[in-house]
Amino acid sequence: MTGQAPFPEWKKLAEHEVKNSVETLTWRTSEGIAVKPLYTADDLEGIGHLDSLPGLKPFVRGPRATMYAGRPWTIRQYAGFSTAEESNAFYRKALAAGQQGVSVAFDLATHRGYDSDHPRVAGDVGKAGVAIDSVEDMKILFDGIPLRDISVSMTMNGAVIPILACFIVAGEEQGCSRAELSGTIQNDILKEFMVRNTYIYPPEPSMRIVGDIIEYTAKEMPKFNSISISGYHMQEAGATLVQELAFTLADGREYVRAALKKGLDVDDFAGRLSFFFAIGMNFFMEAAKLRAARLLWSRIMEEFQPKKTSSLMLRTHCQTSGVSLQEQDPYNNIVRTAYEALAAVLGGTQSLHTNSFDEAIALPTEFSARIARNTQLILQHETGVTKVIDPLAGSYYVESLTNELAQKAWALIEEIETMGGMTRAVVEGLPKRLIETAATRRQVAIDRGDDVIIGVNKYRLETEDRIEVLDIDNAAVRKAQIRRLDRIRRQREPKRVDAALAALGEAAAGGKGNILAAAVEAARARATVGEISDTLRRTFGDHAAVSEVISTVYGSAFQDEPEYQTLSTRIGELSVSLGRPPKLMIAKLGQDGHDRGAKVIASAFGDLGFDVVAGPLFQTPEEAADIAVASEVHVVGASSLAAGHKTLLPQLVESLKTKGAEEIIVVCGGVVPRQDYQFLMDRGVAAVFGPGTHVVDAARAVVDLLEGKRRNE
């Protein structure tokens, strides 16, 4: 081209300019990766995967030779709410509108193995997913949806045995044999102990359950994926991408070992393992992460010497980030989700869920779910991304990122190996500590404005438009479920149920026989989800995590900030006035185990000078009130992410009053629609802090409440 300088001279000029500004132009990610402003061929020197091809080991460029040019990714929207009838109607509409598979979200009562009539789940039934108590609910859930033709993904871990058993029986009674059922059960219990916390049993017996499911499906369900090894919830809990990669793949290695202990040949089940990753807003790094995951998984699987090349292949589902969604200016979330979806596709995902823009506020409406689904349809049909296989291959930047992510993740995987594997690392708490530290650092970066969130810490609207949200009548759903449970218990054969549950208990206690096989017979006899779970509880026991709070991460980052110093001084003066530091209890009510926000608040308030009590997970309002009174706290801060706030918060306030402790201030933080704020305040909640609230602002408001109360005494 005439008039342009030759490339070598341009490169010399550009590199000179970059070197002169390297400190201001180089960006360091939370993974510790220094991202340069310019990448060249020199950055690819020594990288071994550059000549690889799609469909061939090490699968960096994709697990299939033709990728989307042969067949686009599967559009699989995760949904479930209220009753089986409501969810069924939603699925049928979505399938008619272009969705290609069903992905089921269960309510928290179901996740934790409780029937809907259990007193511990009064605020959880039907709120954050669909309530399933028995085969009868499962049959209604898939009524008119041919399970022989439609694949079903089920996010279930704690109560994985009764739910999979009910699904198998529902399929058979629809006329679809278990061998014809296709789809995926998550069955990834190790990550529950790290982040999501919807576990039931301790780690060791939980791993036995995983192995039994892999064994049963390998023999009986050749079209069904026995496990979806999930990094998604790790990133949602605050993990860096290196941590998400390393812990997810280390989990996978542990599950392979569990299956081999069952006497299975690796090639009998490796092709039925799948993965599940989150896709956040670091666009190119997310695409590189999926490429690095395939590279590392093929390396891990080579250790087990499979005969089939396909056993080395990582196949993954992806979901756009939930934690990147914001309550403020929520239509921005449509844009965020579109970018994240594109990153997943450029990284080579096999299926994808796109989040609805209102999920930082409440459950998605039919309107918002349609936009989320159409985001994928537009990406498939209008952008041309399906025409070329792995278009990012050869990018200096992306290939360098792929290599560096792989190296850092592998170092962490090897560290876990030296501890004795992932189960041992989970028991010792290493992954949980690292993720919680990363989550707090992320919150620091947002609160300081180092990480810009449009509409939250930059370009914020003066007034927010009201968004219509889906509101589930929890009490009505629970009554309907209880009526169905009562009918099932009246109509079934008690002796048959008792015999089936006894056989299940013997399989669990004796270590012989397959637990899932026994549970299928119990489900067929119409034993409920709660009854099957309780049978296993009696043998395995319940797992109870010990809450720990990290310290100094938030305080060290803000200690020189004037606002932080002023607030810390006020807390010191308040401590003198009270005769002790102000005491805050962080409460997680109901069966919601998502505790990222609660842990960050506990850490930050502790650094500011509060005496913080981290309450245990899965409290009833009455139990939380008991702990608050016994601990002599000044404030209870309830963290809510699962839509149970309208039931559980008023119960907490009333419980405190009943115990003569109405002087304890109750505040709430988390995913609470703005239209519910006044409802809660009318029932005694002193303040509500929605998503995106600056931690220092929340602490200042709590101090204002304490000082005001002190003045009025």
Cβ neighbours of residue 110 closer than 8 Å, sequence gap 6 or more: 129, 130, 131, 132, 133, 156, 159, 163, 529
Write out the H or E segment, with its range, that includes residue 105.
none
The answer to whether residue 2 scores a pLDDT higher than 50 is: no
The answer to whether residue 17 scores a pLDDT higher than 90 is: no
The answer to whether residue 127 scores a pLDDT higher than 90 is: no
**What pLDDT digit, counting tens, does each position of 443-479 carry?**
989 988 999 999 998 998 888 877 777 777 778 899 9
Question: Taking a C-beta distance cutoff of 8 angstroms, is the pair 493, 475 a contact?
Answer: no
pLDDT at 360: 81
Residue 162, token pair as written in the block: 């009764």
Strand, coil or helix: what is 236? helix
> What does each C-alpha distance from 157 to 363, 533, 576, 661 come to in angstroms?
21, 12, 48, 38
Lowest average pLDDT, out of 249-258, 465-474, 577-586, 644-653, goes to 465-474
Question: Taking a C-beta distance cutoff of 8 angstroms, is the pair 380, 216 a contact?
Answer: no
pLDDT at 1: 41
Question: Taking a C-beta distance cutoff of 8 angstroms, is the pair 511, 539 a contact?
Answer: no
Bridge partners of 352? Answer: 75, 318
Mean pLDDT of the region 577-582: 95
């404030």: which residue's tokens? 635
DSSP state, 51? T
Mean pLDDT of the region 107-122: 94
Euclidean distance between CA atoms 365 and 124, whole angstroms: 19
Strand, coil or helix: what is 635? strand
Mean pLDDT across the chain, nearest whole number? Answer: 91
Q: What is the dihedral of CA 696, 699, 705, 706, to 10 degrees?
A: -130
Helices 396-419, 241-261: axis angle to 10 degrees equals 50
Cβ neighbours of residue 348 closer than 8 Å, sequence gap 6 or more: 61, 62, 63, 67, 290, 291, 294, 390
Question: Taking a C-beta distance cutoff of 8 angstroms, is the pair 628, 618 a contact?
Answer: no
């189960």: which residue's tokens? 423
**Beta strand residue intervals within 67-129, DSSP E:** 74-79, 101-104
User: What are the backbone dihedrals phi and psi of residue 307, each rounded to the nearest 5 degrees, phi first?
Assistant: -90, -25
Helices 562-578, 596-608: axis angle to 10 degrees equals 80
Look at the chain and count its residues: 713
Residue 648, token pair as written in the block: 């559980």
The answer to whether residue 5 scores a pLDDT higher than 60 is: no
**What pLDDT digit, counting tens, does each position of 366-382 carry?**
889 899 999 999 999 99
What would the 3-class secondary structure string for 286-327 be? HHHHHHHHHHHHHHHHHCCCCCCHHHHCCCEEEEECCCCCCC
Longest Cα separation, the chain:
91
Give the number of C-alpha atoms closer than 13 A to the C-alpha of residue 371, restricted to the C-beta side. Answer: 17
Mean pLDDT of the region 73-98: 85
Question: Taking a C-beta distance cutoff of 8 angstroms, is the pair 512, 480 a contact?
Answer: no
Mean pLDDT of the region 602-616: 92
- The letter for the amino acid at 131 is A
Mean pLDDT of the region 2-30: 67
Classify the phi-psi angles of 673: left when phi > 0, otherwise alpha if psi is within -120 to 50, otherwise beta: beta
User: What are the backbone dihedrals phi and psi of residue 366, each rounded to the nearest 5 degrees, phi first?
Assistant: -65, -35
User: What are the backbone dihedrals phi and psi of residue 550, each rounded to the nearest 5 degrees, phi first?
Assistant: -75, 160
b/e map 368-383, b = 16+ CB within 10 Å: bbbbbbebbeebbeee
Nearest to 637 by CA among 626, 647, 649, 646: 649
Nearest to 19 by CA among 1, 38, 35: 38
Residue 620, token pair as written in the block: 């009833």
What would the 3-class secondary structure string for 470-525 be? ECCCHHHHHHHHHHHHHHHHHHCCHHHHHHHHHHHHHHHHHCCCCHHHHHHHHHHC
- Residue 92 burial class via C-beta count within 10 angstroms: exposed 0-12, middle 13-18, buried 19 and up: middle
DSSP state, 464? P
Mean pLDDT of the region 623-627: 96
Lowest average pLDDT, out of 43-57, 67-81, 691-705, goes to 67-81
Question: Taking a C-beta distance cutoff of 8 angstroms, is the pair 112, 158 a contact?
Answer: yes
Nearest to 361 by CA among 573, 686, 675: 675
Query: Among residues of the chain, what percentage have pLDDT more than 70?
Result: 96
**What pLDDT digit, counting tens, does each position of 504-526 carry?**
999 999 878 999 999 999 999 99
Strand, coil or helix: what is 563? helix
Euclidean distance between CA atoms 28 and 36, whole angstroms: 9
Residue 538, token pair as written in the block: 């009696």
pLDDT at 293: 98
Euclidean distance between CA atoms 473 and 127, whole angstroms: 8
Strand 635-640 to strand 687-689: parallel, antiparallel, or no bridges (unpaired)?
A: unpaired
pLDDT at 6: 56
Query: Long-range contacts made by residues 377-385, C-beta under 8 angstroms, separation at least 24?
Result: 377/75, 377/98, 379/338, 379/341, 379/342, 379/345, 380/72, 380/73, 380/75, 383/342, 385/68, 385/342, 385/345, 385/346
Name the residue with higher pLDDT: 357 or 474. 357
pLDDT at 296: 98
Name the residue with higher pLDDT: 470 or 561. 561
Question: Taking a C-beta distance cutoff of 8 angstroms, is the pair 156, 106 a contact?
Answer: yes
Euclidean distance between CA atoms 245 and 252, whole angstroms: 11
Angle among Cα 277, 215, 348 to the nearest 5 degrees reads 25
pLDDT at 487: 96
Euclidean distance between CA atoms 439 and 443, whole angstroms: 6
Q: Omega into 58 within 30° of 0, i.e. cis?
A: yes
What confidence tier does 403 reach under pLDDT thresholds 50, 70, 90?
very high
The answer to whether residue 334 scores a pLDDT higher than 90 is: yes
Bridge partners of 583? Answer: 611
pLDDT at 430: 92
Q: Report residue 690 CA to chain centroid gap.
A: 19
């505790």: which residue's tokens? 595
The answer to whether residue 201 scores a pLDDT higher than 90 is: yes
The answer to whether residue 289 scores a pLDDT higher than 70 is: yes
> What does each C-alpha distance from 206 to 114, 219, 431, 537 come to in angstroms?
17, 20, 18, 11
Q: Which sequence positions are flagged as catalytic?
A: 78, 232-233, 588, 592, 594
